Amino acid sequence: MSDLDRRKEALNIDRYKSKESLDGMKNQIKYTFEPLLTLSKESLDLAIEQRAERDSELNDRQRWFELLKHQKDIEILLEKSSQPRLEWEGLSTRTLAELCREIETVLKDWKWGAEPDVSFNEKEYDIIVDGQPRQSHGKGVRAILYSAFIIGLLKYCISESGVKKDTRILG
Domain regions of the chain by residue span = 1-86, 93-158
Kindly give, in sequence order, each residue whose CB lies less than 8 Å from that of residue 17, ignoring residues fewer than 6 positions away.
none
Say if residues 98 and 161 touch (Cβ distance below 8 Å): yes
pTM of the predicted model over 0.85 = no
Q: What is the mean pLDDT of residues 58-79?
A: 92
- For residue 142, pLDDT over 80 is answered with yes
The DSSP secondary-structure symbol of 92 reads P
What is the model's pLDDT at position 161?
A: 56
Helix (H) or strand (E) holding 27: helix 3-80
- Tell me the C-alpha distance between 135 and 66, whole Å: 28
Sign of CA dihedral 21, 22, 23, 26: positive
Comparing 90 with 30, the larger pLDDT belongs to: 30
What is the model's pLDDT at position 157?
A: 87
Comparing 161 with 42, the larger pLDDT belongs to: 42
What is the model's pLDDT at position 2?
A: 85
| Short-list 156, 21, 9, CA closest to 95 | 156
pLDDT digits (tens, 9 = 90+) for 81-138: 777 766 767 778 888 999 999 999 999 999 988 789 999 988 888 899 999 999 898 9
What is the model's pLDDT at position 125?
A: 84
Helix (H) or strand (E) holding 129: strand 126-129
| Short-list 95, 89, 93, 86, CA closest to 153 | 95
